[in-house]
Amino acid sequence: MKLNKQALFRIHSWIGVKLSVLFFIVCFSGTLATVSHEMDWLFNPEMRVWRDRVSPDRVSPDRVSPDRVSPDRVSRNQQAQNVYQAFPQGEITFWMGSREPYLCDVVYVKNGDRRDYVFVNPYSGEVQGSTVLTFQRFFRDLHYFLFIPFQIGHFTVLIFGFMLLVSLLTALVFYKKWYRKLFELKTGKGALVLFRSLHRLVGVWSVPFTLLFSVTGIWYFVERANVGGVADTANISAPQLAEPIDSATFAEVRRAIDYDRAVEIAQQEIKGLDVKDILPPAKPTSAIYLTGKSHEPLVRNRANRVYLHPTTYEVLKVQRANALPTVTWLNDITDPLHFGYWGGLVTKIIWFLLGLGISSLVLTGIWISQKRRIKRTAQCQVKAQRLGPWQYANWTVYGVMMVFMYGTLVTRYQASLSALLLITAGWLLFIGAAWYLFEYRIKKVVQKKLA
């Protein structure tokens, strides 16, 4: 049994140390993705909504009757008109309703090869600004697939769902009576004892959420790999128009969509629906696609789906959150549980703090491993403190990620110079901190011991 525990400990350490660079990037990017909308609010004033500053005379739609407009927001048709006035040559490709009352709607507008994220105040209809890249989009892409295309990035990230679960289970086995040490933190006995105690304390408190993050991460893997046909079962297929819209008039049809009428019909189909996202038809055979929140708890917006004909507004297909098959329901609660947005800002903050804790486990784990090696080695060689051949795997993937990331930022998002400099500064800070903590500091300890 003792040998088994030692083997489990080695597995736990191997995952945390040998894969440390990638493990930390995956964990920390997910942590930041949890509050990425709030980061946009903090750093981009144009995304902020102040409802108490909205003048009543500005909430007066001119294309629809008042009974078709939510009492606390302006007509979507009016908002669309304002967007097209600001972007005369633009084309609305996606309408993301505000995720929180303090955030603007974000309307995706295509201008040739460029995509703008346009911030529209849902209570006044005013276009408050735009950008080509948001914090939400950057951290979503980073955490979802590390900017690496061809599904390689997605599966690289998703493999860590399994790694996180193995790391958790091995720790619970070799750490005796862990459930009795919820308040044990040893201080005053040196850095090694402190970090080891802190590592265990944070790890114990993080057990339920580590399990949650790993299980939901594994579910993402199962869905993306379509294991057992899960993806086919969980996601209904979008209906296609029997008679495609004439290609010559398709652009005009997209531009003339009556958003308020579409929302009204969707709300008739699903009682209590608060429409959030609207996807205009992407091609002549596509329908208008609406999603939103209903009274069903936990599920994401896509649990409610309504597909409408873009010219007749005939209902083509409906999915209701209160009538989901088990597999579909599990699929639709994964996002809210994984990112913690099911309870609004409060749960986001909780998930963020716990994500920081789990990310810190990677850092303290490396520190403990390095210090332990120094203590056990009579001759403290610097080479023994490194990651071995696995450092090349970590940094190779990191280098590939950086190449694709900058390529995507420049070509797809057409990010500004200031945005590129900010992102570069963040990565330099990451590399600098890693070098200081796990190279410079370790060498100083080694030299001190050899002196």
Can you give the pLDDT at residue 53?
54
Kindly give the confidence (pLDDT) of every residue in the chain, 451 residues in length, as a single tens digit, with 9 standing for 90 and above: 455 778 888 899 889 888 888 999 999 999 999 999 999 999 999 999 976 555 444 444 333 333 334 557 899 999 999 999 999 999 999 999 999 999 999 999 999 889 999 999 999 999 999 999 999 999 999 999 999 999 999 999 999 999 999 999 999 888 878 878 788 888 877 777 788 888 889 999 999 999 999 999 999 999 999 999 999 999 989 999 999 999 889 999 999 999 999 999 999 999 999 999 999 999 999 999 999 999 999 999 999 999 999 999 999 999 999 999 999 999 999 999 999 999 999 999 999 999 999 999 998 888 787 766 666 664 444 444 456 677 788 889 999 999 999 999 999 999 999 999 999 999 999 889 878 877 777 667 656 665 5
Give the pTM.
Answer: 0.89
Residue 65: the pLDDT is 35
pLDDT score for 443:
64
Question: What's the pLDDT score for residue 58?
Answer: 46
Strand order in the sheet with 288-293: 127-131, 114-120, 105-111, 91-96, 274-279, 288-293, 305-308, 315-319
Q: Which pairs from 59-65 meet CB under 8 Å and 24+ separation?
A: 59/123, 59/124, 59/125, 61/260, 63/258, 63/260, 64/258, 64/260, 64/261
Tokens of 68: 């078709």
Cα–Cα dist 288/239, whole Å: 10
For the chain, the domains span 2-38+141-227+344-450, 45-133
At 450 the pLDDT is: 58
Residue 319 · residue 194 · CB < 8 Å: no
> What is the rounded CA–CA span in Å between residue 359 and residue 196?
15
- HSE-up of residue 205 (Cα within 13 Å, Cβ side): 19
Distance CA 36, CA 42 (A): 10
- Specify the pLDDT at position 66: 34
